[in-house]
Amino acid sequence: MKITKIFFHIINLIFLLFYLYPGSILGFLVYGNLGKQPQVTPDFYFSSNHVYAFMLLSLFGMICHINKKKIIFYFIFISIFLELTHLIVPNRSFQFGDLFGNILGVLISILIIKIYDYLEKK
C-alpha cells in the first residue's frame, strides 16, 4: 500500500474521531474549551467549517484512490451518515447547514478533480 493511502486512512480515522467525539476536540486544543468550536470563516446557509473539512478529506482521498466512483460514493455516504450520528452523540446536534456543508465540500472536491482531469487530457 502506498504511503499516501496509509496517510489518507490515518487522516480519515482522525477525522471520524473528531466528528464523533461528544464535544469539540479542536475547541479544546485551541481554546481549552470542549464546548466551543473554532470558526475558520463565517457561515452562510451552510457550515463553512464542514465545507473545508470535507473538501480537504475528499480531495486527498480522490488523489490517493484510483477507483473514483467508489471513493466518491464513500464520501457522499460518510458526509450524510456522520451528520445523522449527531442525533445520538451526546453534546452534538444535527443541523441541516452542517449536512449541506458536508455535501458541498464533497461536490467541490469532485468538481476540482474533474477540472484537473480535463486539463490533464488537453
Q: pLDDT truncated to tens, each residue of the chain (122 aa)? A: 588 788 888 989 988 998 888 877 777 777 777 777 766 677 677 888 889 999 999 998 988 887 788 899 999 999 999 999 999 988 888 989 999 999 999 999 999 999 998 998 87
CA distance 2 to 122: 28
Residue type, 120: E
Instruction: Give the count of beta carbons closer than 10 Å to the beta carbon of residue 97.
Output: 15
Spatial neighbors of 8 by CB under 8 A, at least 6 apart, are 60, 61, 64, 65
Structure pTM? 0.84
Instruction: Give the count of beta carbons closer than 10 Å to the beta carbon of residue 73.
Output: 11
